Amino acid sequence: MKIFVTGACGYKGSVLVPKLLRAGHEVVAFDAMWFGNFLDPHPDLTVVKGDVRNTDEIDLSGVDSIIHLSSVANDPCGDLDPKLTWEISCLATMQLADRARRHGIKRFIYASSGSVYGVKEEAQVTEDLELLPISEYNKTKMCGERIVLSYKDDMVVQIVRPATVCGYSPRQRLDVSVNMLTMQALMNGRITVFGGDQTRPNIHIDDITDLYLFLLEHPEHTGIYNAGFENISILDIAKMVTKYVPAEVVVTPSSDPRSYRVNSDRLLSTGFQPKKTVEDAIKELIGMYSQGRLSNEDRWYNLKWMEKEVVA
């Protein structure tokens, strides 16, 4: 299959693209490269530096499937420049889906977010609950989903609502909870936890990227899927880190009220099974750090980097 991946140079894309190539697919990796490009050259890989908002930069000839990952990818970044956020994460999603339909592309996989639910009282957050997104980021994802779903009669539409992703990627993110807490312990011997009681779902980067491959292989599974397998409090993640890296845990007040447990039974009913855990991610990050393959860089923090390089 020829697969067009937007946001391909991002945290998830940098793990996903090599897997797609190993599976024998041809890949067009399309990305604005805000954080750089960490994809190794490969005969079946074409890397295009471009902006999804500029539709004339997007060449979909011969493409069978789109995996749409590009977006302004967290709450504080979404608030930096709401117009930019809506243009990239929502308007460009509409234009890409529309182009895909015009090109007769039959498969569209969309990376939404588990954060579209907002704050939920329900013990189990399932796909059919009402969406009450809080931030600009969450709202663009909700609208992006609706846009992509409106093309479901033209193509196979598969939407994933991932939990917070954890683990190592050549394009690292240290602003996501497990990675951030692990890095704090490694660098400072001290972990600062905001609030601590908020329960959040997690997914290992190998599992979320395997899921995109699984969906490519299973066009019969259409619609929306939660993808989060370990609902753990931030404090418990910090304690898990201290099993492997001695560190003091300091709890401070938090202004972020989001606390939820995601239920991924719909996804599990397709036969997809996660293979890794939060604990695996922590151990792998520690391994990379001790080998000198993971270091603390500004560009691994989306907000810091976007303030400096993207919306400065």
Q: Are 278 and 203 in contact (CB under 8 A)?
A: no
Residues forming beta bridges with residue 214, ordered by sequence position: none
The per-residue b/e assignment along 191-221, b for 16 or more CB within 10 angstroms, e otherwise, is: bebebbebebbbbbbbbbbbbbbbbbeeeeb
State the nearest-atom distance from the C-beta of 219 to ligand NAD, in Å: 21
Q: Are 277 and 204 in contact (CB under 8 A)?
A: yes
Q: Which stretch binds ligand NAD (CB under 6 A): 51-59, 116-124, 258-266, 283-291?
A: 51-59
Site membership for ligand NAD, residue 267 (CB under 6 A): no
Query: Which residues, numbered 272-311, are part of the site for ligand NAD (CB under 6 A)?
Result: 302
Site membership for ligand NAD, residue 35 (CB under 6 A): yes
When the beta carbons of 189 and 223 are compared against ligand NAD, the nearer one is 223
Q: Are 88 and 71 in contact (CB under 8 A)?
A: yes
Closest residue by beta carbon to ligand NAD: 10
**Cα–Cα distance for residue pair 224/266, rounded to 1 Å:** 9
DSSP 114-137: GGGG-S--SSSB-TTSPP---SHH
When the beta carbons of 162 and 274 are compared against ligand NAD, the nearer one is 162
Alpha-carbon torsion (125, 129, 133, 134), positive or negative: negative
**Cα–Cα distance for residue pair 76/149, rounded to 1 Å:** 27
Site membership for ligand NAD, residue 31 (CB under 6 A): yes
Tell me which amino acid residue 107 is.
R
Site membership for ligand NAD, residue 12 (CB under 6 A): yes
Site membership for ligand NAD, residue 33 (CB under 6 A): yes
Among 100, 111, 262, 294, binds ligand NAD (CB under 6 A): 111
Sequence-separated (6 or more) residues with CB below 8 Å from residue 193: 181, 234, 235, 238, 249, 250, 251, 252
When the beta carbons of 184 and 202 are compared against ligand NAD, the nearer one is 202
Query: Which residues, numbered 163-222, are part of the site for ligand NAD (CB under 6 A)?
Result: 164-165, 171, 173, 176
R_g of the chain computed on alpha carbons? 19
Query: Which residues, numbered 65-84, are part of the site for ligand NAD (CB under 6 A)?
Result: 69-71, 73
Binding mask 88-107 for ligand NAD (x = CB under 6 A): x-------------------
Q: Which stretch binds ligand NAD (CB under 6 A): 11-19, 97-105, 274-282, 291-299?
A: 11-19
**Cα–Cα distance for residue pair 59/28, rounded to 1 Å:** 9
Binding site for ligand NAD (CB under 6 A): 6-7, 9-13, 31-35, 51-53, 69-71, 73, 88, 111, 113, 162, 164-165, 171, 173, 176, 302
